Structure formats: structure tokens, C-alpha cells
Structure 1
């Protein structure tokens, strides 16, 4: 079976959802109790059929999240068949905490687990945005539960039933917030995300309507639930359905919600509690403290994430302030500062000797001219690697110019700077491969030594190394010139 490509039109799916929703709503309202049970069971089976068909056709390549969601939908279908009076008997709105409530809660947990696994890649790209969206969703659940659901609960609602209804409310609100954020940051997935959001919102409305109509007709509750099932079935089978679990490459570019929005959301539950206290409306709903308690660890997680992001940014800035972007070696500023530190250490006594090696590459300019700057960058990176390998861990290697490097040997070195210079010259004689082409360069090294008790500053020491380097270059030219 060939599934429509991502570029295929989505209107057939939209038309199918509208048509099936209208047919399900109308037929449920017009038929008798026996037929209603069959209609409701068939609608709950729709997501199972579409998910399995999309997986079998390899349209949904990330199988695990969709299979977990399918298991949740199968549990709901099984619950409908085992307890056909679940909705007609108003068990959903009574918060009884019985078998039907447990089945629904377990099914929702499975479906939400599949959704969480499917959206984990979006979380890697935009963790802060998803946490902010979940916070706003959680905080929105407080007023919804306190103002709409709590006043309509029947007196014989059990603590377990209230807890299950509250957990359903909180989880759905948080997931809706996350889906909204993903829809904003991932344009290619907006179609299926919109269907999943619609399913979550309709399920929330179903919870509210079931509580408010517990002494009336159950038909609106069943109709809302059926449309929610059809939305769940439609999202992943859209041509763009795979994008739900496969976000586009690159970081999320949408900014986080303003802090004012987050502050207003966090104030929602205390504000509702304050209004209830002023109106002497009895004790505050359990929704408010439960939601607040749940929000606290999410806020702590957000603060931890911000702290980690700040620490990474500080480390990055510190590295950029002291290192060369191309080679990763220390830059000129850090190198000269370290020379000053080591010369002060000579005066104070901890060090007995400091050796400076000034290295200038020979034959590097023709590489840039002949092969381009990218090839030159490759050569410089390889030179940096070989220079680092030629010295000890306590020594310093820095890049102070285009093709100029400076090596600072701390303390006495076996053989002195001459031994290190010979080792560097030998190391750079080996060709460097640039795009499969061997490139040969040389190096001229000037050495300057400062010992304890000698009065010398950084400029003088660098000048000595520079003069020694040009002397090496001059001798090399004389050697290369025929007599």
C-alpha cells in the first residue's frame, strides 16, 4: 500500500473527518441505546485502524510511540465493550473511582506516554519552550477545575475518582500546551499537531460537560468524545504525519513566551484561592494546591535548565575569549598574559627558567594562493595539532598571527628549547593531506630564554625570539642560494 507523499493535499483527510464526525454525532443522537453502543465502539476503533494501517504502510516510521498510543486506544475500546453504560450511565462525570475511571486513566496514560516518546526530539531542540508551555497549561488547569468541575461534582464522588479526574485534567492541559508550542516551532507538523490538540481540547471539554450534565443527557458528552477519537485518528495519517516525530533539522528559532505571561500563569491558582476566600466560598478546591505542588518541580526544572544554559554560555564565552576559533589554540591575548605571569613567577621564585619559541611557517602563503583559504585553514589546524603533540602538558601553545605560533616552555626542559625546536621541525616535514593532495611546508623557529634573576619583560623576550627567528630565516636563504 502506497501512502500519499508529504506534498499530497490534506483536504481528503479533512473532508473525511468532517463527514465522519457529522455522521457519528447525528447517528448517535437519533438512534437507540443498543445502536449507540455499537456506534461509539466503532468510533473508538477508528484510531486503532488508521494507526496500524499507517505503520504497516511504513508511513509512520517511528513505530514505538504510535504502537503505545494504539494500545491506549485499544484499552478504551475494550472498556467501552466491557462497560457499555460508561457514558450513558454518567460514570464519567460522577468521579466514582471505579473500573471505568481506572480504564480511562490507564488508556490516557498510555496515549500520553506514546505522545511524549514521539515528541522527545522536539524536546531536545526546544526544552525550555516546552517546559514554559507545559507550565502555562498546568496553571490553566487550576481555574478550570476550581470554577467549572468542582462545583458540579456530585456529593458521593470518591477521593480516588477526584484524583483520577484531576490527573486527567492536569496531564491534558500540559500536553495541549506542549503541542501548541511544537505547532509554533515546527511548521511542517502543524496539520497533525492541530488534530492532536483538537483531540486534547475536546477531551477536556468532555470531562467538563460530563460533570455539568451528570443529572441530564449524556449525549453531548458522547458526541464530544467521538469527535475527539476521530481527531486522534486523523492526525498521524495526514501526508505530513511523520513530521510529528521527525522535526526539521536545526534549532528552534521561536522565542520563549514573555516572562509576564509566565508570571500571570503562576499567579492564576493563588488568585483563584484568594477570590474563593474573599467570597467565603468554602474551602479551596483540591485542584489548586495539587496544581501548585505539581508546578513547583516544573519551575525548578526550568530554573535548572536556565542555570545550565547560562553555565554553558559562560564557558563558551570564556573559551572564545582565550582561544583561537580556527585552531583551538590559545589566542594572542591569552598568550601574552601568560608570558607576563611566567615572568613574574621567575621573579618570585617558583620557576627557574622560561623558554619562548616563536614559530613562523615557511611556504604557507603559496598554499593559500594556489589552493584557497579553506586549504590554508586545514594546514593551520594540522600544524596546531602537531605543535601541541611536540610539547609537554604544562607548556603553552598559542597562535598569535596568521601563520605565526608561539610556544611557552615552563621551567627547565630536557635539552632546552633547541630540542623542542628540532622536534617541531621534524614533525612539520611530514606532508599534510589537503583534500587528498599532500602539501609540504617548513618552519623557522626563534628561541629566547629567561632565567631567574634576569631582568627582562615580555616585549624584550619576544623581541629576542623574533630576532632569532629572522636569523634562522636568513641562514636558510644563504644556504639555499648557490655559490
Structure 2
């Protein structure tokens, strides 16, 4: 662990202690206060995240300001809605599915805030789209049983179809966001602190919906109000956390998540809500009619996105396999299989009269083994990649350049000019090559062979001619070096 990481962890403890202390004091003050002071206390708590977000943005502690601003706008709308409809919680309207203007306004504020939160976390999820979609699907599927077994049976005649749709959609979105936050928190270890506060916010909000419906018959909203106050205070703590800047700007890129596609899970996700709705309808439960359209409206697009993502991954994998089937992994040039196929294709065009001449150049590096022996195989790889880059730069648009062995290369040209080609190759390959702090040189023994229109020549014959010419030049180079040494 770096010193920076240790400092950040220690500096977060005062924030944690402060959140606990403020939460305890706010809850105690609310529970012991009279009706009018309670409204003031709750209003002040709803303003806490607005103040902390504004302060963090004003001081520049939060980079990538746009998503944070969006989240702050959602919080402002939420606070204004809570102030305007101050009895929304205390009069048991939360979770009652009445479809009031307050329900629409607060649901809209939630969506704006969640849109900002998604923007804040988008970089952490950039390499884990599949995992996030699976987590969101899990949340949407969990919302169905919560609605059917915990909320729908407790609804009053005041509930409306619009209100039921809003409550169910709010539950599903909250559960989906909670699943995504947990998924991101497991991977984004350095930003886990502020993300944990976001998880607490979603959890407290979800719990408040449940307690509001569960306690409606008893006339007490204390538990619901305290949970909502905790949700506001935990979201207020997120931008104050020392690691808040790492939420939008990870200090290290995450690795692409891999794994088998969960086809069974996606099938279950598509069937879960219709199955629950069918059971409820068979029982004559009138509240079941909202589950199927809302659940499908949220689950089906997520499944379609997951299938699209799987299709994209499959297409990318197929393109990668196709590339590796025809290219050398180290240099990126064509491999032996592709070069051989291109030679056959060029000779067939020559035989049909579509080409006037075919030129083949085989190249073997001189002095490559000493580079490997003296500087290591990594240096040898650097040399091979640089030679490959130079050959590709020399080649024309119709030429095929490949690596067919350890330090053996080939250039296939659909035309003539073998002397010019061999000269340019020897000149370019012989230039110095930087290897770390050193500079090395390698030579090139090149052999060329040509086949003209009307000449009966097959692939093995053409390669054999170029190979013989290459080894003759290599022998000449050895004799020249021996004379120079003598």
C-alpha cells in the first residue's frame, strides 16, 4: 500500500465519525421534537447534501464536474419537492402509490440524481458493461417479489395505476442502481469509501419505501423518516470523502471483466416478472396487472442490451481470431499461412494473364543472434518489430509483407522491380536500431526470384529460387566478413 493510500484511509475516519454523530443527533432531535420542529429538522437534513455538493464543486475537489452538477440538480429538485409537499412522508404518502403530483415530482428528481450518479461512475464501469447489466437485471428481478409480497398487498383503495407504476419503477431502478453500485465497489477498491456511502443511500431509500408501507396501518412514520434522513446524510458524505476525486477519475484503469455469458440468468430475468404476474392473476390479485408491463419495460431492454453486448464481444473475438489466423503475433505482419496463400493467388493471376510479373523476396537477418545473446530476447523482439515496420513502409499498397520464421521475412510483389526492391530493403534494414540505451545494427541477406507471364512455375519453384539466391548472398556476406577479419 502506498503512503498516499494510507493517508487517505486515515483521513476518512473523521468523516465516518462525523456522519455517525450527525446521524445520531438528527435522529434523536427528530424523534423527541414536536410536529412543527420535525418539519424544520427534516428540511435541514434534506439540504445537507446540497450544501456538501455545492461546497465540493466550488472548491474544485470534484473533477469531471458535469455529472456531479447533474446529481446536485437532482438533489435540489428533491429538496424543493420535499419542502413543497412537507407532509409527503408524515402523512403516509410515500409508497402508497397514489399518483399524486408529489409522487411525479419526487420520482423525476430521483431520475435526475441517478443520471448524475451514473455519469459519476461511468469510468469505473467502462470495462465492465456486462457485469453492470447483470447487476441491474438482478435488481430489476428482485423488485418484482418485493412489490408482490411486501408492497402490493398493503396498498389502500387510494392507489392508482399511475401511482403503482411509479412506485414499482422507483423500486426497480433503486434495486438496479444498488446492484450496480455493489458491483462497482467490489472492483474500484480505491474509490470504495465514497461508493459505500452511495450504497448506503440507495439501501436506506429502498428500506424507507418498505417501512412506509409496512407501518402505514399503525400511524407511525418515525422509522421511515429516520431512514430517509440517513439516506440524505450518507449522500452528503460522498463528496466529502478524501477519495471522492477517484470516483470520476480512477487512478488506475480497470481490467476488462471476462466470464461465460449468463444465458440461463437472462432467461430467468425475462421469465421472472411474467411468471409472478401470472400467479397473481390466477389468484385474482388486481394489483398484479402493473407488474408485467413495468417489469418487462425495465427488464427486456436490459436483456436486449446484454445480448447486444454479447454479440459485440463475439464479433470482436471472431475478428481477433481471424487476425491471428493470418498475422504474426509479434510483428503484426502476415504469417506463413497467409503469405503462401497469396503466392498461390498471385501465380494463378499470372497464369490467367492478369499479371505481367510476380516478384518474391526472401530476407534473413545477419547478426541477429549476437543481439539476442548480448542484450536478451526482449531486445531481439524490438529488432524484429522495427525491421517489420521498415519493410511495411517500403512495400507498396499491393505488396504482401510477412514474417515466416524467427528472423526470416518475405515480400511478395505483384510486378517487377526486384533489384530496386532488394536495394531498398538492404538499405533500410541496415540502419541503426535503438534498443533501450544502446544502438544495434543487423544486416540483411536477401534473395529474389521472379516469374513472368507464360512461364510455368509453381509456388515451391518460386520459393526455391528466392531461397537459393538468399543463401548465396548470405555465403557472400560470410566471405566478405572473413576477408575483413583477416
Asked if the contact 1:93/1:214 (under 8 Å) is kept, the reply is no
Alignment of 1:12-411 (within 5 A): 12-215=14-217, 216-247=219-250, 248-253=252-257, 255=259, 258-282=262-286, 284-347=288-351, 350-410=354-414
Aligned residues: CA RMSD: 2.9
Alignment of 1:444-483 (within 5 A): 444-478=445-479, 481=483
| Cα deviation, residue 98, structure 1 | 3.5
| Cα deviation, residue 351, structure 1 | 4.2
Q: Closer, same or farther in 2 for the Cα pair 1:175/1:329, shift >3 Å? A: same
Which 10-residue stretch deviates more, 169-178 or 241-250? 241-250
| Cα deviation, residue 264, structure 1 | 3.4
| Cα deviation, residue 322, structure 1 | 1.6
| Cα deviation, residue 35, structure 1 | 0.7
Asked if the contact 1:142/1:269 (under 8 Å) is kept, the reply is yes
Residue 88 of structure 1: SS of its match in structure 2? Answer: coil
Question: Separation in 2 of the partners of 1:286 and 1:326?
Answer: 58
Question: Separation in 1 of the partners of 2:62 and 2:287?
Answer: 49
Question: Separation in 2 of the partners of 1:463 and 1:206?
Answer: 81
Which 10-residue stretch deviates more, 9-18 or 67-76? 9-18
Q: What's 2:3 paired with?
A: none
| Cα deviation, residue 475, structure 1 | 3.7
Q: Closer, same or farther in 2 for the Cα pair 1:262/1:187, shift >3 Å? A: farther
Residue 123 of structure 1: SS of its match in structure 2? Answer: coil
Asked if the contact 2:124/2:254 (under 8 Å) is kept, the reply is no
1:424 matched to 2:443? The reply is no
TM-score (norm 2): 0.88
| Cα deviation, residue 45, structure 1 | 1.8
| Cα deviation, residue 258, structure 1 | 4.9
Q: What are the Cα deviations for residues 398-456 of structure 1, in whole angstroms up to 9, with x where unaligned?
A: 1112221111122x32xx32222123223334433444755443322111223455444
Asked if the contact 1:185/1:252 (under 8 Å) is kept, the reply is no
Residue 447 of structure 1: SS of its match in structure 2? Answer: strand
Q: What are the Cα deviations for residues 312-335 of structure 1, in whole angstroms up to 9, with x where unaligned?
A: 111112212221122211112322
Residue 44 of structure 2: SS of its match in structure 1? Answer: helix
| Cα deviation, residue 262, structure 1 | 4.0
| Cα deviation, residue 176, structure 1 | 0.9
Residue 448 of structure 1: SS of its match in structure 2? Answer: strand
Asked if the contact 2:127/2:257 (under 8 Å) is kept, the reply is no
Unaligned 5+ runs, structure 1: none
Question: Separation in 1 of the partners of 2:150 and 2:29?
Answer: 29
Question: Separation in 1 of the partners of 2:396 and 2:14?
Answer: 69
| Cα deviation, residue 257, structure 1 | 8.3
Unaligned 5+ runs, structure 2: 1-5
Q: What are the Cα deviations for residues 284-305 of structure 1, in whole angstroms up to 9, with x where unaligned?
A: 2313222113221211111111
| Cα deviation, residue 224, structure 1 | 1.7
Aligned length: 478
